[in-house]
């Protein structure tokens, strides 16, 4: 009996262990098949495979909706369009009604099932708007992150304003003061993250501050800070809270200042071809697309710039 309990406890912990990196690597290919090669059935299969690994991101529900729109499958289109509206962090109507998706969804807009779905989503969005204003946990998270961002911007503005008539030595001195202030602020922010987690990644138009906002505060990290807080950022990356693009952007900024590593995640335009293979492997380790260069936000908007090795090292 005791052994059975131990087995059940192990199974339960494994079932709920989070690691979104394998999930991201599958959905990254799915996006490429959906948006670039228009292989809707292949993209559909990839998304459904990813959904078996972790709780699906609502933005990926919407990407799957695009697959079914391309395939002409109204039943599943409506099903996943509704699912994409279930979280306060994502509003699918921003995309359904956008110029980018107007042609894709045009033929469905006259169908009654689609009209009913749109009305249902509008009601859901109204509930989300109320929740953002009244839900204590949501409000605390939004206001806390907004506070850190506001202090960061105001502090740098106040310290570094009116520098045009100063000498180089005076400018350097003020920058050091600003940098020291940033270190104190980042420490407070990351202590908050340690206890509460990164704010989840959010899509454009959301009223919540997501990990992309937090990354603004972290890109000027020193090497020492990065080494200290990297385990925390890796934890939040695996939990699906810190977007791979944001983690990679922070990493690259630190690396570019240290000048120790020429092969980075993002600097593909200035990267020697000798670094391509290493960059592909490093990107996969953090769940960053090896197909498209850009954040999930930009990819959702349709800004799909292929990486230089697509078609040669990656197909």
Radius of gyration of the chain (CA): 22
Query: String of b and e for 11-35 (b: at least 16 CB within 10 Å)?
Result: eeeeeeeeebbebbbbbbbbbbbbb
Q: Which two tokens stand for residue 211?
A: 């990990």
Rounded to whole angstroms, the Cα distance separating 180 from 37 reads 48
Label residue 1 by pLDDT band (50, 70, 90): very low
More confident residue, 68 or 162: 68
Q: What is the pLDDT of residues 91-148, one digit of tens each?
A: 898 889 888 888 889 989 889 999 999 999 999 989 888 877 777 666 666 666 667 7
Rounded to whole angstroms, the Cα distance separating 264 from 256 reads 9
pLDDT score, position 205: 41
pLDDT of 24 > 70? The answer is: yes
Which residue stretches of 86-135 are H helix? Answer: 93-96, 99-105, 112-134
Q: What is the pLDDT of residues 167-190, one digit of tens each?
A: 888 877 877 777 777 788 788 878
pLDDT score, position 145: 66
Residue 27 near residue 50 (C-beta atoms within 8 A): yes
Label residue 4 by pLDDT band (50, 70, 90): very low
pLDDT score, position 188: 81
Residue 218 near residue 235 (C-beta atoms within 8 A): no
Most confident stretch, 76-85, 99-108, 164-173, 296-305: 76-85
pLDDT score, position 260: 67
**Euclidean distance between the first and the last CA atom of the chain, given in angstroms as a whole number:** 51
Q: Average pLDDT in the 68-72 region? A: 95
Place of tokens 């090292």: 313
Q: Average pLDDT in the 230-251 region? A: 87
Q: What is the pLDDT of residues 274-284, one digit of tens each?
A: 888 888 998 99
Burial class (CB in 10 A: 0-12, 13-18, 19+), 139: middle
> Mean pLDDT, the chain, as a whole number?
80
Label residue 209 by pLDDT band (50, 70, 90): very low
pLDDT of 74 > 90? The answer is: yes
More confident residue, 114 or 253: 114
pLDDT score, position 83: 95
């Amino acid at each position: 009996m005791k052994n059975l309990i131990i087995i059940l406890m192990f199974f339960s912990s494994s079932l709920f262990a989070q690691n979104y990196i394998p999930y991201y690597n599958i959905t990254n290919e799915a996006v490429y098949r959906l948006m670039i090669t228009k292989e809707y059935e292949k993209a559909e299969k990839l998304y459904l495979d990813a959904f078996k690994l972790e709780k699906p991101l609502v933005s990926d529900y919407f990407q799957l909706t695009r697959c079914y729109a391309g395939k002409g499958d109204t039943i599943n289109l409506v099903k996943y369009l509704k699912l994409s509206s279930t979280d306060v962090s994502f509003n699918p109507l921003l995309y359904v009604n956008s110029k980018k998706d107007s042609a894709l969804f045009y033929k469905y807009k006259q169908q009654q099932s689609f009209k009913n779905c749109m009305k249902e989503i509008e009601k859901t969005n109204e509930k989300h708007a109320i929740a953002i204003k009244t839900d204590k946990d949501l409000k605390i998270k939004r206001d806390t992150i907004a506070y850190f961002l506001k202090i960061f911007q105001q502090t740098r503005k106040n310290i570094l304003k009116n520098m045009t008539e100063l000498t180089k030595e005076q400018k350097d001195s003020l920058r050091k003061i600003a940098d020291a202030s940033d270190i104190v602020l980042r420490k407070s922010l990351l202590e908050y993250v340690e206890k509460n987690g990164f704010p989840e990644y959010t899509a454009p138009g959301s009223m919540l501050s997501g990990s992309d906002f937090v990354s603004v505060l972290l890109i000027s990290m020193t090497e020492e800070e990065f080494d200290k807080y990297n385990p925390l950022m890796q934890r939040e990356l695996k939990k699906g809270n810190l977007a791979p693009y944001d983690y990679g952007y922070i990493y690259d900024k630190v690396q570019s200042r240290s000048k120790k590593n020429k092969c980075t995640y993002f600097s593909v335009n200035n990267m020697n071809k000798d670094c391509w293979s290493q960059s592909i492997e490093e990107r996969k380790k953090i769940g960053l697309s090896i197909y498209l260069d850009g954040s999930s936000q930009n990819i959702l908007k349709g800004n799909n710039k292929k990486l230089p090795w697509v078609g040669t090292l990656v197909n």
